[in-house]
Structure formats: structure tokens, C-alpha cells
Structure 1
Amino acid sequence: SREGDTGVKLEVNERILGSCTSLMQAIQVLIVASKDLQREIVESGRGTASPKEFYAKNSRWTEGLISASKAVGWGATVMVLSVNAADLVVQGGKFEELMVCSHEIAASTAQLVAASKVKAGKDSPNLAQLQQASRGVNQATAAVVASTISGKSQIEETDNMDFSGMTLTQIKRQEMDSQVRVLELENELQKERQKLGELRKKHYELAGVAEGWEEETEASPPALQEVVTEKE
């Protein structure tokens, strides 16, 4: 970006990159805290059993923990790929992707903490560390969204067309083209929202079957009920 961009585009790129870097650092802290707490849970709860036996015995809890961890990792991976395409960020098309990744990471982090709380001791220092790391991730994701929205606004302002040299006919043509594009985008938005709703519905159905939410909600302790509610 420094080689090919100057002014606003360079400023936007560097600001977004800085916020994304801070988020990656926060995720790293979260992962370490999660591993420490998971080790504590296994050691305190397995008795004479091996870690493998403990996970097998608590398979539904393990699946929920793995699912949340994978979701955090997926969001981070997609974000890294987006940021690596730095020139594309300021040339359009990637701002929304960064914001979606940020929201997914925040939601997955909350799920990870909720799943961990099910088996963790109430006064566990490792649980406190994980919750603190979770707050750090939330603050960092908010910073990414804020910098992305601000950057998108700046880029759009600099890309505004100059109509001063256009004739009446040219302006009228541009106006008609713009109206057509607005209608096309509104139609696309409606279809995409319907698609998103169906995808979310199917995702929750598949996740519920895979992790046994229905069975768990009928005969699970209050702490696990909390995780189920959080996931829904």
C-alpha cells in the first residue's frame, strides 16, 4: 500500500491494518487463556481418567467448545486474507467483509466463554483471565468496525464524481443510470436477506442436531442451559 497509495487511501489502509493487528493480538491472548482454562478443567474433572476419556465422557460439551473455537479461528483466518489484499480494501468490496468477520469473531468469543463456564470453577483465576481476554477481543472488534466504517466513508467522499463539466444530457443520463442501479441493489439486498435468513435457520438446525441441544435442554444443569440459550 505504501508503494502504490498516498493521502487518504494510505491513511485508511494503515488505520484498518492497525486495528486488525490489535484484534489478532487480542485473539492470541484469548486462545492462550482458553487453553489454560481447558487444561485446568480436564485436570480437575477427570479424576483417574485420561484426557481422552474425559473428553469422550463429556462429548457434547467438548463439541460445543470445539465449535466455538473453530468459529473464532475461521473469522480470524478470513480477516487475515482480507487484510492481506490491502489494495482491494481501499479500492472497494472488502469493507463489509471485514465488518462481518469482526461480528462473527465477537459472537464466537462469547460462545467460547459460555461453553467454558459450564465446566469451570466459579472462582477459577483462569476463567477470570478468559473473561478478561474476551473483553479485550470485544473492544478490538469494535475498533475494527469503527475504523472500517470511517475508512469507507473517507474513500467514498474522495471518490465523489465532479459534475461541473457535464452537459444537461450527460447529467440526465447519469441520473437515469443511477436510478436503475438503486432498484437493482434494492432487489439484490432483499434476495440476499432472504438467503441469509434461510442459511441461519439451516445452520442452527444442523448445529442443534450435531451438538444435542434438544436433549441437553430437557435434562441439563442450569449452567448448560445458559450455553444453549447463548447459542440460540
Structure 2
Amino acid sequence: MLCHTSAASEQALSKSVKACGSEALALLGQMKQRDSLATANDNKLRAALETILTTAEKLRPRGLELQQGELGDLVEQEMAATSAAVESAAARIEEMLNKSRAVDTGVKMEVNERILASCTELMQAIKELILSSKDLQRDIVESGRGAASMKEFYAKNSRWTEGLISASKAVGWGATVMVDAADMVVQGKGKFEELMVCSHEIAASTAQLVAASKVKADKDSANLHRLQQASRGVTQATATVVASTKSGKSQIEDTETMDFSSMTLTQIKRQEMDAQVTVLELETRLQKERERLGELRKKHYELAGVAEGWGEEEEGTG
């Protein structure tokens, strides 16, 4: 229904623009001829322009100009969606663990169990963080809304509200991506490094949620302290995922013993040279990627600060 309405509005806008163009050409022709109908055509042109403005207004992106009720509803919806994403991720991890126990043995099963157990602990820590964030948000709204309704408070503090929505989405996305990476690793199709990167990413996403949640909080709030403690729990759980992943990668690589007993001297020399070339290529690439990562992080923090405005006071608030 929304798509149909948007398409109809776009068609109306196109029709209005064409009509405006026709009126403008007519007015230009009349002005050249100094005809007495110039004034009438001028009025028609004004009317056509007003029609364009009215139609375009309907198509304008809503962004931070969401209606009061919608802003309040969106916060609840996004937090609920994030909780659902984390619950789904935890359920997937349990399924992956059961499957690994059924088909894997030895070192592979040991590695998979350790990695998936650390992922489960991380999901539990994120759940606690989300609950703490909800409680703190409730405190903030209750203490700051005065005579206004909750929905009016969200609308008045729209930048803060949008920050919460964005941060919540980032956490849900991070949990899903991390579990996807873990799934590929336990199947032997993914890279351990990708899982470690995803773990760091989810830590950054939860830090974003903490920053968005506490920006308007009372520093002595019990729920703020609880949120900060939950945040430390996520950080520790993330470190455990990274550590278990590194350890697992080492174990798997150690079991893949290289056997050179059947190789000739020429073959060994050839592989030695190839290995030296690969090492040089990887070292060069690593340096470039580190520089690129530094620039990306710098730009990310710059854009995030501008977009979310967490450190800025809302208009009309102290």
C-alpha cells in the first residue's frame, strides 16, 4: 500500500513539473509579445509551482521528522527486534554445537565446542546489556519528560531517539553476522580471522548502544551503573571469543603436519622460494590494510558523531 501511494505521488509530481514547464514557456512567450495575458499566465505558473511543492512534500524523506507516536513505537520495535535477533543467534549456536558433536571428533570437535561455548557466553552478555539499556531508557524518559507524554518526549529529543534506534539495529546486525561467521568456521569453510573481526565489530556495536543509552542519564543512576557493568561483561565475553578462536586456529594448524619426506631437493627449493614471495606479498598487503583500517576508523567516528549527535543537547532541553 505504501509503495502504491509513493508511486502515485511520484507520477503526480512528474505531471505537475510538466504542467509548470508548460506554464513557464507560455508566460515567457507572452512576456516577449508583451501580451495582456501575461499576468494571467503568471498566476497559472505560481499555481503550478505550488502544486509541485505540495506534491514533493509528500515524497520528502521522513528521517528525523517522524510523527511523535511513530518515534516512540520505533524505539520499542527496534529493541524488540534486537532481542529477537540475539535470541535467534543463541538458538543457532546451540544447533551448531549439537551438529558438531554428532559429526566431528578429536581436535575439531574440541575446537568447535570451545568457540561455540564462548559465542554462547557473548550472546548471554548481550542479552543482559539490552535489558539494562531498556531499564535506563525508561529512567531517562520518566525523569525528563515532565508534563509531556512519553511519545512527546521521544519526539522532542528526536536525535537521541534516532541514536537509540540506530545503535539497536547495529547490535542485532552484529549478532547475526558473528553467528554466520562462526557457522562457517565450525563447518571448516570459513576463516578464523573473520570470526575474530566480527567479534570486535559486535563489541563496537554494543559500545554504540551504551553511548546512545547513557548520554542523557543521571550519572548516579543505578541502572546506568548496571548498564556499564553489562558493557564490561560484553567486552570480556568478546575477548574470550577472540582468544578461543585464536587457540582453535593454532590447534587446527598444528594437526595439519607438513610432510616433505617424498619431495625432491628441487621441489623443496621451489616451494621455499614460493613461500618467500608469499611472505613478502602478505607483509606489504598487511601494511596497506592497516593504513586503510586507520583511515576508515577515523572517518567512521567522524560520521557517527555528526549523524547521531550523542554529545549534543536537544533543542529546548537543558
Q: TM-score, normalised by structure 2?
A: 0.61
Q: In the aligned structure 2, how far is the partner of 1:137 from the partner of 1:204?
A: 21
Instruction: Tell me the equivalent position of 2:49.
Output: none
CA contact (8 A) 1:72 1:104 kept: no
Matched AA of 1:21 = T
* 1:143-197 Cα distance to aligned partner (Å, 9 max, x none): 1111011111111111231223322111111101111211222232233233323
User: Which of 204, 211, 236 is matched with 1:139 structurally?
Assistant: 236
Does structure 1 residue 127 correspond to structure 2 residue 196?
Answer: no
Query: How far is the alpha carbon of 1:3 from its aligned partner?
Result: 4.2
Q: In the aligned structure 2, how far is the partner of 1:72 from the partner of 1:180?
A: 40
Q: In the aligned structure 2, how far is the partner of 1:128 from the partner of 1:202?
A: 30
Does structure 1 residue 65 correspond to structure 2 residue 139?
Answer: no
| Percent of aligned positions that are identical | 80
Higher relative contact order (CA 8 A, sep 6+): 1
Q: In the aligned structure 2, how far is the partner of 1:36 from the partner of 1:47?
A: 18
Query: How far is the alpha carbon of 1:140 from its aligned partner?
Result: 0.9
CA contact (8 A) 1:71 1:104 kept: no
Does structure 1 residue 186 correspond to structure 2 residue 283?
Answer: yes
Instruction: Tell me the equivalent position of 1:227.
Output: none
Range 70-79 or range 134-143, more displaced? 70-79
Q: In the aligned structure 2, how far is the partner of 1:112 from the partner of 1:210?
A: 14
Query: How far is the alpha carbon of 1:35 from its aligned partner?
Result: 0.9
CA contact (8 A) 2:160 2:309 kept: no
Q: In the aligned structure 2, how far is the partner of 1:212 from the partner of 1:118?
A: 10
CA contact (8 A) 2:184 2:190 kept: no
* 1:62-99 Cα distance to aligned partner (Å, 9 max, x none): 333333333322221111111222434xx364211221
Query: What are structure 1's unaligned runs of at least 5 residues?
Result: 221-232
Instruction: Tell me the equivalent position of 2:55.
Output: none
Instruction: Tell me the equivalent position of 2:180.
Output: 81
Does structure 1 residue 208 correspond to structure 2 residue 305?
Answer: yes
Q: In the aligned structure 2, how far is the partner of 1:29 from the partner of 1:162?
A: 49
Range 130-139 or range 114-123, more displaced? 114-123
Q: In the aligned structure 2, how far is the partner of 1:20 from the partner of 1:209?
A: 33
Q: In the aligned structure 2, how far is the partner of 1:139 from the partner of 1:211?
A: 26
Instruction: Tell me the equivalent position of 1:30.
Output: 129
Q: In the aligned structure 2, how far is the partner of 1:172 from the partner of 1:60?
A: 63
Query: What are structure 2's unaligned runs of at least 5 residues?
Result: 1-99
- Helix, strand or coil: the match of 2:101? coil
Q: In the aligned structure 2, how far is the partner of 1:210 from the partner of 1:110?
A: 16
Instruction: Tell me the equivalent position of 1:165.
Output: 262
Instruction: Tell me the equivalent position of 2:59.
Output: none
CA contact (8 A) 1:69 1:112 kept: yes
Instruction: Tell me the equivalent position of 2:152.
Output: 53
Instruction: Tell me the equivalent position of 1:226.
Output: none
User: Which of 181, 192, 210 is matched with 1:113 structurally?
Assistant: 210
Matched AA of 2:259 = D
| Pairs aligned (count) | 216
Structure 2 CA distance for partners of 1:212 and 1:126, relative to 1, 3 Å: closer
- Helix, strand or coil: the match of 1:119? coil
